[in-house]
Structures are given as C-alpha cells and as structure tokens.
Amino acid sequence: MNISLESALEEAETRYVADNPKSAARHSSARSSMPGGNTRTVLHYSPFPLAWARGEGAHLTDLDGHQYTDFLGEYSAGLYGHSNPVILEAMRGALEGGIVLGGPNQYEADLAAAIRDRFPSIQLLRFCNSGTEANVFAIQAARAATGKSAILAFEGGYHGGVLYFRKGGAPLNLPIPTVSATYNDANGVEEKIRAHAHELAAVIVEPMMGGGGCIPAERDFLVALRRACTERNVILIFDEVMTSRLSTGGYQAMVGVTPDMTTLGKYLGGGMSFGAFGGRVDLMSRFDPDRADAWPHAGTFNNNVLSMAAGLTGLKKILNAAAINKLNNKGEKLRQAINEVGQRHDVALKATGAGSFVGIHFTRNDVKRPGDLDPAGADKRTKLQNLMHLDLIAGGQYYARRGFIALMLPTTDAEIDTFAGAVEEFVTSRKSLLQ
C-alpha cells in the first residue's frame, strides 16, 4: 500500500474512480462543451472532481449519493451554509418582489450603509459582481486618481483570475505594470515603495494570503505599508475579499491599520454573486454621476435583488461579533489540533491561517510567505496534498486539494474533532511516506 508515494497515489486514485462513477460520467460528458469539463479552474482536481447533487447546512451530497462534511465552504463565500433558513427567506422575499427590475431597489442602499458602518476605511462604496471586478475597479480608480500607472503586488498574491501574482504573473493577467515584493517583509517593501513611488498608483495586499496558503500578514508589515504609502502618495488597497469575515470590521479593524480602499466579495452577498469596492470619500465620490468629471462604473447585475437582499439579511440578522468569534474559535481549535498531530507524530505537517481559515501544509518551516512552503520539495508536497485529499474524501471530509479550509457557521465542534481525527488517521496510515 505504501511502497512509494507514487504507488500509494495511484492506488488511491483507482479507489476514487471506482467509488464515484456518476461524478466521472458527468465530468466526461462535460468535456464536450467546456475545456477540461470545467468552468472554474480552482474546482478542478485529478482525476475528476466530485459533482454535487445538493447541500444542506455544512453538508454536501454528491451524485453517487455519498455524504460529506463541507470544510471548503465555497472558498469562504459559503459562510452562512448551504441552506440557512433566514437567508432563504430573504431570497424568497426578493424573488416574490420581482427580479431584473432595472432601477434602484429597496435593498442596495441599506446593504451599502451596513457595510460602510462595519469597515473603518469605507466611507462610500459601490457594488459589482465579483471580487475580481472589485479589485479591477479599485486599481483603475487608483491609477486614474494618481495619474500613475503601476501597482505593487506580492509574490503569491491572488486578487482574481486576471490579477494573479504567482511566480511573476499569470498569462491572462491584465497588462498593468507591476512591481513584485515579498509578503511580510516590512523593510524590503518600504524600500521598494520609496524607490518606485514615482510610478506607483497603488499597493494591493491580502491581509491574509488566501490562495497563497492561508498566511496572515504581520501587523508590523501592514503598518509599514501604511506608512510608506502615506509618505509617497500611493493608494493602499486591502483586498479583504476573504478576510473581511474575520471580524465585524475585517482584518483592518483587527490590526488597527486603515487602508485607502478596501475590496470585498464572497459571503457578503449571502451566497449570491457579489463584489464591492469602497474607501476614502475623495476617491469614491469620483463615481458620483452628477459630477462633470465622474468616472463611469457599469455592471448590469451590480444591484441584483438576490445578492442585495441575501447580503443585507446576513449582516443584519446573522453575522454579529458573537457569531464571528465562535467560528474563529473553531478555526483556532482545528489549527491547534492539526499542529498537535504533526508534533505528536514528528512529521512535516503544519496548519496556518487566521480565525476561521485553515491552511494545511506538509512543511516544518515557519510559514510567512508562499516561498516558505518547502521550496525544495514542491513535487513531493503536491503528491502528499493529493493523497491526503483522496484519503479524506474517502472518509467523508471535503476541503480544497491544496489544503484550504474555510469554516461555515453551521460547522459543529464535533465535526472539527472528526476532521482532525481524519488528519491523524492519514498521518498514521501514511507515516512512512511522510518521513
């Protein structure tokens, strides 16, 4: 069974294929109309992804009828779970009022006010349809406001499919001149901002790298960004598409560092498609259509009633400080349990993250930036991630193959214990491969 990592992986894949004939058939037929049978790259994993028949609370059922506890939480957009009755009622109410109304509706200004009241940096905001769109508009606004063209982004940073800064950039990235810097390197980035200030419109940063491996920013690093940006008239953008859920005021409130602009997405639409960007009044007021020099900002579905009603209800009726703290504590408990497994068995296993986000990595390194995730052993690390994913799926635990977890409000403490137990079982049964 564990003769080599390659043979263990092959065997686990064979088991997976045998267990999931309906997901396999769906994948195969999807390939005729979508490249690789896929319409969202992050949802693909080999040999084919499980396809879902339904979701309820924090549980999923696949086409073959297996049940899973959902630790992926739709990459953080599923915060409220798959079937929160309060959210469903808000959506039903919105549907009954009619859709595609083609004008301002009764929800959007209340949702905007609720968001403005929560996030310290947001004086005015606008809605859009995704986190990617929010980042594009925030960056373009910064470029228009400053008259400068470049941005500074961090190696491994993810701000959307056209703003992906791994290993210098992605083939479909927007053609925006970009200065690359190292995450959590306060001195290095301050120097870079000063050296490039003449061309830098904005610095964009995730207060916790999500796609980069659940790596939280150190407070000193964010303080250094704030200082250098203020000093050199560079607009500081916090991409809080993921991290905004870590406190009622997002990561910025937790660390007491206020950016000029903030971008949002994911759960804030209550599970519907969502994006928003906001910030300083002098910047955002340029979007006022009554101004002669107004910046245009379009988007047919920016204020769609489902996102607006579900998002508003989520903030008003569900997501208070107590609910957030409770969920963050569950994340802390899971992180601790996984780290204890690593220590108890003396293997290279580490859980990173903040609050309700957990990243699982096969490394002994202190992880402060993506480059710390074992640069020498990327191939082995990927195979171990694949193997653990297949083993945990076989045990009814669903999370992202790269080791990403975003807890959902309905996740129970018992489910956290079960997941940690499944990780320990993996470590025990695959120990020889981990060493």
Q: Which residues bind ligand PLP (CB under 6 A)?
A: 75, 130-132, 135, 158-160, 206, 210-211, 239, 241-242, 265, 275
| Cβ contact 128:275 at 8 Å | yes
> Nearest distance from residue 269's CB to ligand PLP, in Å?
9
Residue closer to ligand PLP by CB (options 241, 393) is 241
Query: Minimum distance between the CB of residue 75 and ligand PLP, rounded to whole angstroms?
Result: 5
| Residue 16 vs 71, nearer CB to ligand PLP | 71
Smallest distance, Å, CB 417 to ligand PLP? 28
The nearer residue to ligand PLP, 172 or 322, going by C-beta atoms, is 172
H or E element, residue 361: strand 357-361
- Closest contact distance (angstroms) between CB of 7 and ligand PLP is 34
- Terminal alpha carbon distance of the chain: 16
Cβ-based nearer residue to ligand PLP, 132 or 303: 132
Closest CA to 213 of 354, 379, 420, 69: 354
Say which amino acid occupies 288: D
Q: How far apart are CA 57 and CA 168, in angstroms?
A: 39
Residue nearest ligand PLP (C-beta atom): 131
Backbone dihedral region for residue 327 (phi beyond 0: left; psi -120 to 50: alpha; all else: beta)? alpha
Minimum distance of ligand PLP from residue 307's CB (angstroms): 12
In the complex, least distance from residue 157 CB atom to ligand PLP, rounded to whole angstroms: 8
SS3 state at 418: helix
Q: Which is nearer to ligand PLP, 135 or 304 (CB)?
A: 135
C-beta atoms surrounding 92 within 10 Å: 11
Q: How far apart are CA 206 and CA 159, in angstroms?
A: 8
In terms of CB distance, is 157 or 342 closer to ligand PLP?
157
- On the CB side of 312, CA atoms within 13 Å amount to 22
Q: In 221-301, which ranges are E strands? A: 235-239, 261-265, 275-279
> In whole angstroms, what is the distance from residue 358 CA to residue 353 CA?
5
Report in angstroms how near the CB of residue 208 gets to ligand PLP at its nearest: 8
Cβ proximity to ligand PLP, 307 vs 328, nearer residue: 307
- Of 416, 382, 409, the residue nearest 76 (C-alpha): 409
Tokens 């049964």 found at? 429
